[in-house]
Amino acid sequence: MAEKEKLQVELCMGSSCFARGNSAALSDLEAYINENGLEDRVELGGHLCLGKCNTGPHMRVGGKEYSGIMDPACIIDIIAKTLEEMDAEPDLH
């Protein structure tokens, strides 16, 4: 079976987004990935300030941008749903 594509999750690491929630989100997401054995499914990374600090914190999940999510549980929900959608897609490789 072909290896599944990894879901790219990027948190804005600019000082504003980091202070507004992405610092807590980063540690919660690392714990979520480790506790659920998702190291092979999720690639956690960061990106620089997008210049949209006033609507942050910002993040991208699978290339889709999300803003203003302060609760790490909501981010985890988005990741879980996106992984479900990826699993439901037919494997065309």
Contact track, ligand FES, 30-59, x by CB under 6 A: -------------------xx-xx--x-x-
Residue nearest to ligand FES (CB): 14
Binding segment (CB under 6 A) for ligand FES, from list 15-23, 24-32, 34-42, 81-89: 15-23
Q: Could you tell me the smallest distance in angstroms from the CB atom of residue 65 to ligand FES?
A: 10
Is the separation of the CB atoms in 29 and 76 below 8 Å? yes
Size of the site for ligand FES (CB under 6 A): 11
CA distances from 67 to 30, 39, 44 (A): 20, 24, 17
Q: Which residues bind ligand FES (CB under 6 A)?
A: 12, 14-17, 49-50, 52-53, 56, 58
